Amino acid sequence: MDKIKMTVPLVEMDGDEMTRILWKMIKDELLNPFIELKTEYYDLGLENRNKTDDKVTADSAEATKKYGVAVKCATITPNAARMTEYDLKEMWKSPNGTIRAILDGTVFRAPIIVKGIEPCVKNWKKPITIARHAYGDVYKNTEMDIPGPGKCELVYTSQNGEEVRSLVHEYKGAGVAQAMHNLDDSIESFAKSCFSFALDTKQDLWFATKDTISKTYDHTFKDIFQDIFDKEYKEKFEEAGINYFYTLIDDAVARVMKSEGGYIWACKNYDGDVMSDMVSSAFGSLAMMTSVLVSPQGYYEYEAAHGTVQRHYYKHLNGEETSTNSVATIFAWTGALRKRGELDGISELTVFADKLEEACKNTIESGKMTNDLALITTIENPTVLNSEEFIKAVRETLEASL
């Protein structure tokens, strides 16, 4: 069989620890034998980030703007312990944060569903994709301890010095106060990323806030979404046969629990933080969760939602066997390859991505899986494979389907 040829490179962002080990295995076993892989390689491993003063991270994000599609391995976000472990010059920022700041994107997280790994919510049949607005609100707030009786106000001063004041509360005793903000630009980018990802994946888009209570703040989110939808996306949604649906956050939560899944749920920053943990754990396993950063300009960066699986890596370094699940990392590659195939009109690449995903699912459904899934599967007597054996088993399933 001839290898599939690519015309435009993928931006490849290598990473750290156990996922870096899996990265190489995936390329050797599942990609290079079938594709003449064309990538522009950026080593985002912590050692190289330190060596390049983290320039490599910004460069990789710029390359994503140039080529449109990136695939990223999990990376260490340094903390105090990592400073000594890697002898770092500085506590470099989270690469995901740096990349997101450059691409101005929204992160969409979706579970990979297989038979035998059943969601806790029994009527969930299709993935629920969570889109979290990643700017502002309580994450960039200002808080104040109110020591005793007195008046707390919000004051806005315009550039020419005019003041607008609004009473927060007349305190009769001690208490607390908080101010939050957001930006129209950021909300617009969020909305555009959500609408284009819905079109891209042909799924309905749900959005919910508490606009009945928050008549200015949350209402602005609702209005901006509706405005952009009416102006830019309404017809496209009709053509694609999908819907945009706005409701109150409490109504949304109730509907989500009763739904069968298969839509994108756009959430404000805090809701997204909380709901993504709930939805992902209810679907089964962090190791079966994909993540894609979509910029409002339509740049895509695919990755697994989990981290570098440090505990497994230390076992690996000790020469012990590991059983680390590579499925979400494989799906990062298939997501990126499929997108490249679509953008460049290379249908073989799209078909290959579908087949590799099917091979992962079929391998697990046949009872062969890594330990994390064996612990929660409803399949009886699963065969527990180590990290490498699982990838080889996927290759066997894949080859049989090609």
Please give the residue ranges that form the binding site for ligand NAP (CB under 6 A). Answer: 74-77, 96, 286-287, 303, 306-311, 324-325, 372
Toward ligand NAP, which CB reaches closer, 97 or 149? 97
Closest residue to ligand NAP: CB criterion = 307
Residue 311 interacting entry, from Mg ion, ligand NAP, none, C-beta within 5 to 8 Å by type? ligand NAP
Residue 310 interacting entry, from Mg ion, ligand NAP, none, C-beta within 5 to 8 Å by type? ligand NAP
Sign of the dihedral through C-alpha 48, 53, 57, 62: negative
Residue 279 interacting entry, from Mg ion, ligand NAP, none, C-beta within 5 to 8 Å by type? none
- In whole angstroms, the minimum distance from the beta carbon of 307 to ligand NAP comes to 2
- In whole angstroms, the minimum distance from the beta carbon of 73 to ligand NAP comes to 8
Element (H, E) at 342: helix 327-344
Residue 132, SS3 per DSSP: strand
Half-sphere exposure of residue 354: CA atoms within 13 angstroms, side-chain side = 9
Burial label for 306, CB within 10 Å (0-12, 13-18, 19+), is buried
Residue 308 interacting entry, from ligand NAP, Mg ion, none, C-beta within 5 to 8 Å by type? ligand NAP
Residue 287 interacting entry, from ligand NAP, Mg ion, none, C-beta within 5 to 8 Å by type? ligand NAP
Longest dimension (CA), the chain: 79
Residue 269, SS3 per DSSP: helix
Q: Please, are residues 43 and 12 in contact by the beta-carbon 8 Å criterion? A: no
- In whole angstroms, the minimum distance from the beta carbon of 275 to ligand NAP comes to 18
Toward Mg ion, which CB reaches closer, 95 or 272? 272
| Binding letters toward Mg ion, positions 214-253, x by CB under 5 A | ----------------------------------------
Which is it for strands 10-14 and 69-72: parallel, antiparallel or unpaired? parallel
- Report the distance separating Cα 44 and Cα 61, nearest Å: 11
Asked if 273 is part of the footprint of Mg ion (rule: CB under 5 A), the reply reads yes
Residue 286 interacting entry, from Mg ion, ligand NAP, none, C-beta within 5 to 8 Å by type? ligand NAP
Half-sphere exposure of residue 127: CA atoms within 13 angstroms, side-chain side = 21
Asked if 59 is part of the footprint of Mg ion (rule: CB under 5 A), the reply reads no
Strand runs labelled E in 15-127:
35-36, 39-43, 69-72, 106-111
- In whole angstroms, the minimum distance from the beta carbon of 272 to Mg ion comes to 9
Residue 107 interacting entry, from Mg ion, ligand NAP, none, C-beta within 5 to 8 Å by type? none
Binding window for Mg ion (CB under 5 A); candidates: 151-159, 189-197, 266-274, 278-286: 266-274
In the window 276-295, what residues touch Mg ion (CB under 5 A)? 277
Toward Mg ion, which CB reaches closer, 100 or 368? 100
Asked if 307 is part of the footprint of Mg ion (rule: CB under 5 A), the reply reads no
Triad 216, 222, 224: Cα angle to 5°: 95
Residue 295 interacting entry, from Mg ion, ligand NAP, none, C-beta within 5 to 8 Å by type? none
Residue 155: how many other CB atoms lie within 10 Å: 8
- In whole angstroms, the minimum distance from the beta carbon of 82 to ligand NAP comes to 7
Taking CA atoms, 39 is separated from 8, 21, 43, 141, 342, in Å, by 8, 18, 12, 40, 16
Residues 6+ apart with CB under 8 A from 152: 144, 146, 167, 168, 169, 171, 177
Residue 273 interacting entry, from ligand NAP, Mg ion, none, C-beta within 5 to 8 Å by type? Mg ion
Toward Mg ion, which CB reaches closer, 193 or 269? 269
Toward ligand NAP, which CB reaches closer, 77 or 297? 77
- In whole angstroms, the minimum distance from the beta carbon of 278 to Mg ion comes to 10
Toward Mg ion, which CB reaches closer, 220 or 281? 281
- Report the distance separating Cα 259 and Cα 250, nearest Å: 14
- Rounded to 5 degrees, φ, ψ at 40 are -105, 115
Toward ligand NAP, which CB reaches closer, 192 or 361? 361
- In whole angstroms, the minimum distance from the beta carbon of 308 to ligand NAP comes to 4
Burial label for 49, CB within 10 Å (0-12, 13-18, 19+), is buried
Residues 6+ apart with CB under 8 A from 199: 233, 236, 237, 240, 242
Residues found near Mg ion in the complex (CB under 5 A): 273, 277
